[in-house]
Amino acid sequence: MGRIRNTIELAKTSWGVLQKDRELVVLPVLSFLGAALVLAIFVIPGVLALPEESAGSAAAGEEQALPALSLILFVLGSLAATVVSVFFTGALVAGAHERMSGGDPTVGSAIGRAIQRIPGLVPWALLTATVGMIIQALRERAGAVGQFILGGIDLAWNVASFLTIPAIVIDDKGPIDGFKSSAGLLRQTWGENLASQIGFGLVGFLAVIPAIVLIAIAAALNVTALLVVAFIIAAVWIALVLAVVSALGGIFKAALYLYATRGRAPEGFEGADLARTFTRR
């Protein structure tokens, strides 16, 4: 609990950094919209390509080929969506790094830096998406024990790759070297890494509670118009919370990477207990 409490305190420090560059919240929004768009581009044709139930035998060969086409489109959509997500996460890290280095980032400057790192970001996105899809495919076919083991592998992958994007963006490493750097930095600090992910998730959960309460009150009053308004307000609030928490996570990753590789707290985190987050066993 102490680690999670420390992470929540660091989330507050990340919030202080975000206050100086609130426009960085736009990046998670662009990430969501971009990922949704590319998913739609691939998934909608994939759904349309699914065979309909038919008693006729003439089209049987065609119907057997269509699921494969749908699968290919779904895989391509997942890969493309991950590329978009990783790119904008890289842009967010770039903006945070610019602020922590004494600069004054904008959405344009952050995206520009991410564009420069495309040779590292895109291969990493394809690699991590492929690993994720393989693990998911295996979990769908595994029994209870297999799912538990694969869940552990998935968690280990996420923990080991936690600082890969900062390594690519900040130090211009390739995807493999970036992953090695991330795994090396966190090899003995997986507990702190896991606590940071849980801590930011907890912050997000606490922040959406007002939206849940609002919907519950509207439902209890049983007024349709009021319930519709409550859902709209709650949806907007939850979207804002997700964008802010995502931005805070990007800032936090950049700060942790800079501290781990430079040995000193970056600008904006001077008073934060980053040392405790990276205490070695």
- Looking at residue 65, its pLDDT comes to 47
- Looking at residue 263, its pLDDT comes to 79
52 or 167, higher pLDDT? 167
Percentage of residues in the chain having pLDDT higher than 90: 49
Cα dist. 59→51, 56, 227 in Å?
10, 7, 48
In this prediction, residue 1 has a pLDDT band, given cuts at 50, 70 and 90, of: low
Residue 147, pLDDT above cutoff 70: yes
Mean per-residue pLDDT, 198-223: 88
Sign of torsion over alpha carbons 99, 102, 104, 106:
negative
Residue corresponding to tokens 């907007």:
236
Q: Which domain holds residue 163?
A: 2-277
Residue 25, pLDDT above cutoff 50: yes
- Report the distance separating Cα 32 and Cα 204, nearest Å: 17
Mean per-residue pLDDT, 53-66: 45
- Looking at residue 58, its pLDDT comes to 39
Closest Cα partner for 151 from 171, 163, 167, 135? 135
User: What stretch of H or E contains 145?
Assistant: helix 144-160
Task: Report helix, strand or coil for 119.
Answer: helix
Q: Considering its fold, how many domains does the chain have in total? A: 1
Residue 2, pLDDT above cutoff 80: no
- Looking at residue 142, its pLDDT comes to 83
53 or 145, higher pLDDT? 145
Q: DSSP characters for 50-116?
A: SPPP---STTHHHHHHHHHHHHHHHHHHHHHHHHHHHHHHHHHHHHHHHHHTT----HHHHHHHHHH
Mean model confidence pLDDT for the chain: 84
Least confident range of 52-56, 150-154, 155-159, 206-210: 52-56
Task: Report helix, strand or coil for 174.
Answer: coil
